[in-house]
Amino acid sequence: MEEKQREATWQEEEEQAEVAVWKYAFGFTEMAVVKCAIELGIADSIESHGSPMTLSELSSALACAPSPLYRIMRFLMHRGIFKEELTTAHGSLGYAQTALSRRLMRHGERSMAALILLESSPLMLAPWHSLSARVLANETSPFDAAHGEDLWSYAAENPAHSQLINEAMACDARLAVPAMIHDCPEVFDGLGSLVDVGGGNGTTLQTLVKAFPWLRGINFDLPHVVSVATESIGVEHVGGDMFLSVPKADAVFLKWVLHDWGDKECIQILKKCREAIPKDKGKVIIVEAVIEEAETDKLTDVRLALDMIVMAHTNTGKERTFNEWGFVLGKAGFCRYTVKPIRAVQSVIEAFP
């Protein structure tokens, strides 16, 4: 009986493996086809049309051949990115938007297009071919191996890539910051000023100042980043180096910054943040993923994928567990901290001196 059960289990595992292995052979096609859809502007065209579009209408709007477009749409519909509905003009089936396809539009509060275009760009894909060398040598980062310099140096010298990074970070800010405002608005109680370290184009602070009008926002990033940031009421752009000093404020805000650095650099950044806030009532607000190794949820895969991304794209970056966050915060001189999950990939960590 036990022998038959083991054999049945083995057979089931073999059958699952026969199907699953294809995902790893051809998994890149999903990113490539979604990138194609963004570049063609498929979701934008359907949204502008205001109703489902036939293949003829869509191919005409995009100025592309119907046959390859049909195959692209078949692939995307199979994955639930678009759907079929009756068109109002012809009564025939046409392509319609879904909640997922709207995230592929170039603009919009829930757009993730810039982040997808960043991660699928040739520049960001090249380091993945050196990932095994990084694991074996644990020295040169894959990005350095592919491009001869680190990501930040490259971005400083290439304004177009720097802009794409900032637009990608703004995609996440438009998702994570509203989730934070909804789930834990008390984090901002009693604050008069807030400095966003590594704030990019200022999207995060613009959202926070709109929600909490009493806040005075300081968007702090490298000079070449803030020099092209859009001016916004209630937000001051300041250029500098977080490893040297951070502008003083009631609280420091860091979102998707510390995961780009190893423990040594994180501790150094956090110490500069601690110096910038009042000792009696100041705090540092960190919005980062927390890897829960014993528990999983629907975003666990995303957090683990992010850990691989920072391994490929940074010199020492990593996603951290609860205990690993406690270690760097303690070494930086913070006596206590809290971790609050929100409806996003990240959690909100409040650290107090």
CA-based nearest residue to 175, from 350, 298, 342, 351: 342
Q: Rounded CA gap, 166 and 203, in Å? A: 9
CB neighbourhood size of 290 (10 A): 20
Q: Which long-range contacts (CB under 8 A, 24 or more apart) does 103-110 make?
A: 104/34, 104/37, 104/38, 104/42, 104/43, 105/43, 105/44, 105/47, 106/38, 106/41, 106/44, 109/174, 110/174, 110/175
Assigned token pair, 340: 């609050």
Q: Nearest Cα to 114, choosing from 188, 172, 196, 175?
A: 172
- Give yes or no for a contact between 87 and 51, defined as CB atoms under 8 angstroms apart: yes
CA separation for the pair 33, 71 (Å, rounded): 10
If you count them, how many residues does the chain have? Answer: 353
Q: Which residues are catalytic?
A: 259, 288, 319
